[in-house]
Every structure is written in C-alpha cells, then in structure tokens.
Amino acid sequence: MMKVLLVRPPITLTVARRLQSFLHLEPLALEIVAGGIPSPHETRILDLACEKAEDGAFLRSFSEFKPDVIGFTAYSNEAATVKRLAALAKSHQAGVFVMVGGTHATTAPEDLHLPGVIDLVIRGEGGTAMRELIPRLEQKAPLPESDAFLPVNSPQFDALAASLPPELPPYDQVPAARRDLVDRSRYYCIWHGKPGERLPTLFPRTGAARTSVGCPFRCSFCVVHYLARGKYVRRTPEDAVNEIVAIPEDHVYFLDDEMFIDAERATRIAQLLLERGVRKYYVSWARADTIVKHPDVFKLWKEVGLTLIYVGLESMEPDNLQDYNKHVSPEVNRQAIAILRDLDIGLHASLMVNPDFTEADFAKVRRAINVVGPAEMSFTVFSPPPGTELWKKHRAEFCCPDPYAFYDGMHTLLRTRMPLKKFYRQLAGLWLCAARNSPLLRNKVKVPLRDRIRFFYSGFWYGCSVQHIYRDYAGLP
C-alpha cells in the first residue's frame, strides 16, 4: 500500500488572496484525482489555500503522513510556489515521488522540467491518469511516456512537452470526486439574494460540481480551447444529477466552462432535478449568446433554483468584442442582461480592460457599468494565455521576468500605454464604481451585521490591493 498526498498550493499574489474573501471553493480537481487512486492506497488532500503558515502546514502534513507520492496541482501563477514546495519535499525525503498536474502542467510542461525536484509531469485529466500510473508506481514498473505522461528524466521530455495536450477522455471514464477528503466547512461563495430578501448568511457553505469540460469557442484571451483541444465533453444528465444530489451543501457552484451550450442537455438536467424534488441554489457560467438563444432554458433553471449567472460580457464596445473573438455584439450583451433581469436571475458581469487603454477607454467601461447594473461585477486585464499562439507571439514583449507568476487575470503581462500606477488607479476606480451598483446595496438585501461588515471590510482591502498591483512590478525594467 502506498500513501499519496495531493496538494493545492497556497495563493501568493495579494490581489488573489483578497479575492478569496468572497469565493473559496473546494479543490474539486484534486478530489477527482483522488477518486482515480485505487484502494487500498491511502490518499489525503492538503489545501494550503486554507492555511496561513503554508510552509509549516506542508511540512507538518508531510512529516505526519510520510507520503510515498506527492501530487501538486497548479495554475500558472502558482507554478513557482509548487517548484519550491517540491524542492522542500525532496530535501526532507529524497525518495518521495513528486508529480505535478493541473492547468500549468498541461499548457507549459517545459516550465516544470526540473530533474531531481519533479519526477513526472501529468497533462490533461488527472483522475483517469491515476488509474494507469499508481499500479506502475506500486510495481516499480517504468513510467509511461506519452502526451499525458512526461517523465522529467526522459530523453523524450522536450518532444513530448512540445506536443499538444492529450485529448479529453469521455466523461464516463472520469472518476467520482472524493469529497470526503476535505473539510467542507471551509468553502463558501458570496450569495447576494433577491431584492428585500433576508439572508441567514452572505457566505453560505458551497459545494462545487462539474458537468462538462471544455468549450467550442475560441476567445482570444481564454486558454480553455487549448486545454480541451476545442472539444466540449459532457456528462449525461443522469450522471450530473446524481452528483448534485450527493453534494451535501444546499448551494452549488458549477465549474463548467459553459454549462448551457448544449441546451437540450441543460434542459434535461433541470427536468430531472424537478422530478426528483431536488431543491438547491445554483450559480453557473453562461455566454451572453447562449442566454439570448435559449431564454426558456434559463426560465426552467430559475424554477430549479438558479440564482446567479456569471457572464463574460467582456465589453460593450464592438471593436473590443471583435478583438476578443467573442462572436457576440453589444446588442446581444444587452439582450442577455434584459433576459436575466426579467427572469429575476442575478447577474455577475465580467468586463475586460486592455493594457493599451487610455483614460477615454476607462470612461467607456464606467458607462458600461451603469448600463449593466445593478449586478455583481468583476474586471480582468487582457493577457495572452500560456501555451497558445498568442502567448508565443507576444512572449518577447512581456514586461515581467516570470510571466507565469503574473498570469492571474489582474496583472498585465504587456506594457501599459499609460503609466502603470495610473493604469491600476483607473482599474481600482472601476471596482469602486461597480461597488455602488452592487445588488447587496441597490436591492437592500438584509444580511447579518457581521457579514455586512465582512463584505465592506474585504471589499475595501480588495480595492486597495487592485490599486497597488503596480508595486508588484517594483524594480522591473
């Protein structure tokens, strides 16, 4: 029997840590990986994003559990931390087997080529990979080598790393998540409620679910089409509903890249939930054109319990939408907003700013905020996604020595037209403008005083962290 420790790294960038005050979901990807590890092997999940003294928590867990295998997941901005923790593990137990998977391993495996620190890079779906890998490790057999398995000591590593990510497996091959391996009381999502409603808490415990992977669209700022090779892999409605029923929380956050593209499947999931008498509250992502094409689907989901939809509007300017390859128009965005408003489904609108924005461009975004609100809103900075042709095209233009470390949707990788300090002051101003349009304030939702204080306190410090992002570039040319 082997002991396997799966680790979600801590969040290091200040702005990302502040955002966690509003949304902190269970490490579903690691739970799925754990589901692929066959018994009788013992598996634990260590979520360092929940810990304050991350290195101490890692070493305590490492010393207590004494794992034979450590598996890290990582987004690109967490890669440097994972490398450091992997080296720390090797320094305490040279024989421990270290593997790294997740988004960064799939898009930029060459960045993890660290012999003596990392033993294996895994690309693609980690849960199915475990079914092949763990028996080999147990038997001390040679490691597999393919577009999914990249042994760091292999002479073929560079060639394998240069290949496209592996194809996604059919969803019926993906193991069920081991939700029992985490402390579920630690995970929550902000929930604003309806106009005039009284909520028992603004931050209810929230479970995460995934009913599909991938997206058939190719937005220029998004890495999903590269990760999924342009595929959209779906679970059957019956399988999706069975998982939703099994989630212990009453609030569920769908992690699908876009859950409603297959309107027939989304309709069937809703119908099954109604037939089985499942009453929960849901939040999900959807494209504006999906909402406009299928308003009846969202009307049905409103009946099921859909409370909030995240919509990547990105912009209300046609030129920007064309540059982002969104295949939607400002009019479609406006129609989607109106449909959700008529259905009384909450909107979280995501808008994007470009590094070459001028003050006039930021003014246009402020006007868009007034059109979109009242709604939750967030803002991201356009950056080329790792692994894509756009990343390779702009690589020589990046304004930071480790662009992976700053790839978080908030730090610019490209030089800004206006001075960096002024750029982030303008961006922070957008958050302040959006806060005035918050549904919590505009709709006069009643929440416990402690939650209201937490909301304003966290919002204030998040706004400060956005304004001060420029400091992260101190000393850079």
Is 90 exceeded by the pLDDT of residue 444? no
Tens of pLDDT, residue by residue over 278-318, are 999 999 999 999 999 999 999 999 999 999 999 999 999 99
Mean pLDDT of the chain: 94
Residues 246, 395: Cα–Cα separation, whole Å: 45
Nearest alpha carbon to residue 402 among 136, 145, 125, 79: 79
At residue 192, the pLDDT reads 80
CB–CB of 439/192 below 8 Å? Answer: yes
Q: Where does residue 109 fall: left (phi above 0), alpha (psi -120 to 50 degrees), or beta otherwise?
A: alpha
Nearest-5° angle of CA 472, CA 475, CA 477?
105
Residue 205: DSSP 8-state:
B
CA distances from 63 to 6, 67, 470 (A): 14, 8, 38
* Number of residues assigned to the chain: 477
Tens of pLDDT, residue by residue over 63-94, are 999 999 999 999 999 999 999 999 999 999 98
What's the predicted TM-score (pTM) here?
Answer: 0.95
Cis peptide, bond prior to residue 374, ω within 30 of zero: yes
Mean pLDDT of 361-385: 93
Helices (H), 215-309: 224-227, 237-246, 263-275, 288-293, 295-304
Nearest alpha carbon to residue 237 among 278, 292, 205: 278
What does the block give as tokens for 153?
Answer: 């000591």
Helix (H, G, I), strand (E, B) or coil at 375: coil
At residue 477, the pLDDT reads 57
Burial of 434 (0-12, 13-18, 19+ CB in 10 A): buried
The confidence band for 438, taking pLDDT boundaries of 50, 70 and 90, is confident
Residue 76: DSSP 8-state:
G
At residue 407, the pLDDT reads 95
Is 70 exceeded by the pLDDT of residue 427? yes
Helix (H, G, I), strand (E, B) or coil at 466: helix
Strand 232-234 to strand 212-214: parallel, antiparallel, or no bridges (unpaired)?
Answer: antiparallel
